Amino acid sequence: MARVGVITFPGSLDDTDARRAVRIAGGEPVALWHASTSLEGVDAVVLPGGFSYGDYLRAGAIARFAPLMAELIPAAQAGLPVLGICNGFQVLAEAHLLPGALMPNAGGHFVCRDQRLRVENARTAWTSDYAEGQEIVIPLKNMDGRYTASAETIAELEAEGRIIARYMDVNPNGSLNDIAGVTNEAGNVVGLMPHPEHAVESLTGPTTDGLGFFTSIVKGLINV
């Protein structure tokens, strides 16, 4: 069974939800503590949403220096699949595992809504259970969700197909090119601002459209 670690930082809010999503997808969730120095031999890692370290200084900036990140960064660079959701995306950007930065929302307000997305890249470790062009609806909740990068970086992401999802209908936070998520060159590290872990059960989510992020990694690891 695929073992997927979920890191808990002080201020993490969605770690329990992420572990549940892994379980529903057929994987074995493994709780990982930020102050640990071991990834416990997991096959993949999720950095969940929330407000790590209270988002003091800058969203994700302190969590990037957590002891466990010293283990995660080289592991991700060596190919370990890693998904950063919302605050986790911010941490991955701060750790330079993903390009660009997440800035305060253009409207200056916290945004919470069911968000329509279009999957642009179904070739990553975390999106292979989707079809390119597929439209999904999953919750979005953030204060610092405006994706930004240099013109050169944006052009590179577009040319290489490294934008994994775009906002549809409305751009909720002012992200450049309607970008909701990106991947690294290898496709093993993905950052996504909306919350797929809140759309895995019909009882609690607006849809079950988010489950594909978790079934993608579980199936992929089983077939390795």
Residue type, 39: L
Question: DSSP 3-state assignment of 159?
Answer: helix
Identify the band that residue 101 occupies on the pLDDT scale cut at 50, 70 and 90: very high
Closest CA to 135 of 154, 149, 114, 155: 114
Neighbours of 48 (CB within 10 A): 27
Residues identified as active-site: 86, 195, 197
Q: Which domains does the chain have, with CATH numbers?
A: 3-223 (3.40.50.880)
Percent of the chain with pLDDT over 70: 100
Identify the band that residue 138 occupies on the pLDDT scale cut at 50, 70 and 90: very high
Identify the band that residue 199 occupies on the pLDDT scale cut at 50, 70 and 90: very high
Q: Alpha-carbon distance 93 to 103, whole Å?
A: 11
Q: What's the rounded mean pLDDT across residues 101-116? A: 95
Residue 137 pLDDT greater than 90, yes or no: yes
For position 224, what pLDDT does the model report? 60
Q: What is the DSSP letter of 151?
A: H
Closest CA to 26 of 215, 221, 195: 215
pTM given for the model: 0.96
Residue type, 168: M
